[in-house]
Chains A and B, each alone.
Chain A
Amino acid sequence: MERLIEEIPNFFTIWNVIFLAKAMGVTFLLTAIGCLVGFSVGGLLAIFRKTKSIYLLPLRIFIVIYTEIFRRVPFLVSLLLFFYVFQIIKISDDLFLIATITVCIIATAYIGEIIRSGIESINQTQWDAATAMNFTYYQTLREVIFPQAWKVILPPAFGFFIMFIKDTALASQIGVMELTFAAKILNNKGFSPLLSFGTILILYFILSFPLDRFGKYMERKLASNKN
């Protein structure tokens, strides 16, 4: 214990603090890009998934397979698979890019599902009324369904953002300099694991907790607003 207290001033040097802050930035960036892309592309997938046209059937099948696959493979395995695929096709060896692409692909699958079930939670009566008044599919989504569905989509989406902040820790395995990798480096440099890993646990908490609270707050607010 005394050893630990002695070590603290050595641990929180300017260099280490900047190092950790940068790593925290990478963790945040990975999550933020993943969630933004996941929301936009996942939204598109959800929209196409509900189309009826026979010409779009191949697309719908592709979407089902895509979402099922990436929600049934561990993040770590997908990450390594993409890492090695990128080594073969030699497009880029930027680790951050590889991790970002993987995060985006997986986020798209999960958020697409969240949005789809949000759309499905809206009562059929709303579709019937819109269809009977000649709304097109996209007009119905824009004017009627999404203005109602976002309340259902948002709370699980927040839960998902938090899950992703945490899952990006696995990017350390391919050497992306995010929080977990930074802690491993500090640990290897001889700093106490208690300090290195304890510190990043707190940093993860600082990233995640406000989102968690905000998500729960929204959930309560939306639930009480309902009637």
Chain B
Amino acid sequence: MGYTLVYTQVLEFLPYLIKGAWISLQIAILAFFGGMFFGLILATVRTFGNNISNKIVICYVTFFTNTPQLVQIYFLFFALPEFGILLSPYIAVLLGMTLNAAAYLCEIQRAGFLSIRQNELDAAKTLNFSLFQQVKYVILPHIMRVLFPPLSNHYIIMTLGTSMAAIFGVEELTGRAFNINSETFRSVEIFSITALIYIVITFIATFLLAIIGRYFFKAKIRIIQ
């Protein structure tokens, strides 16, 4: 064993890494809400659209959920320039993640729509709720309670997915770990610290989501599984 772990040198880079984590967070949040929005459109089309539009959405979802996000981004980054579309690494990653998230979030949101039970609506109708009241008191609370746990779960998966951005040179958390690695060669120390930061930020996210879920949507999320 010629190697001893030395963390002192790497710890100097901690603020630098944490700023990187901030960028990871940005990418995750932007891609998540972009994916939510686009996924909602897809889910709406899928629920209310005609045969052809349905098929298109199904193809989209099937394609994006059955191929790696990494290769999708490679494709955007390297193949689109052939058509004269040049994307910066940051935009390519963000776009790739958003398109990918849209496919998953479409499925999740659709499952939420489908889970509204007719008898709950009937109950609301017999109580003489107006359409607005039905949406406000019955449909939305129900959808949020059903959707919140899988959405939170997917958000955590996306946070981890942002590390792919490093491969394209984006200086988020993993990207910055790459940078320090090529400067100091303290690889094990760097990547273990990086791993730890990911653990911390996903724990914080789960914790906040659990609180939001519990107090606003009566949805139960366990912090430790």
Q: Which residues of A does B touch, CB under 8 Å?
A: 4, 64, 67-69, 71-78, 80-81, 84-85, 87-89, 113, 116-117, 162, 165-167, 169-170, 172-173, 179-180, 183-184, 187, 192-194, 197-198, 200-201, 204-205, 208-209, 212
Contact = CB atoms under 8 A, between A and B. Distances in A.
Main SS class of interface, A? helix
B134 interface: no
B133 interface: no
Contacts of B116: none
Given A192-B82, A201-B71, A212-B66, A81 B192 contact: yes
A73 B66 contact: no
14 contacts: A72-B198, A72-B199, A72-B202, A73-B198, A74-B160, A74-B163, A77-B163, A77-B177, A81-B188, A81-B195, A84-B191, A170-B70, A192-B82, A205-B66
B194 A84 contact: no
B104 to A, nearest CB: 10
Interface of B: 1, 3, 62-63, 65-72, 74-75, 78-79, 82, 156, 160-164, 166-167, 174, 177, 187-188, 191-192, 194-195, 198-199, 202-203, 224-225
A212 to B, nearest CB: 6
B198 A74 contact: yes
B79 A194 contact: yes
Main SS class of interface, B? helix
Contacts of B75: 193-194, 197-198, 201
B167 A197 contact: no
B63 A205 contact: yes
Contacts, number: 120
A212 B195 CA distance: 30
Given A76-B167, A77-B198, A172-B70, 6 more contacts: A68-B225, A72-B156, A72-B160, A72-B199, A74-B161, A180-B71
Nearest to A187: B78
Given A74-B198, A212-B62, A205 B67 contact: yes
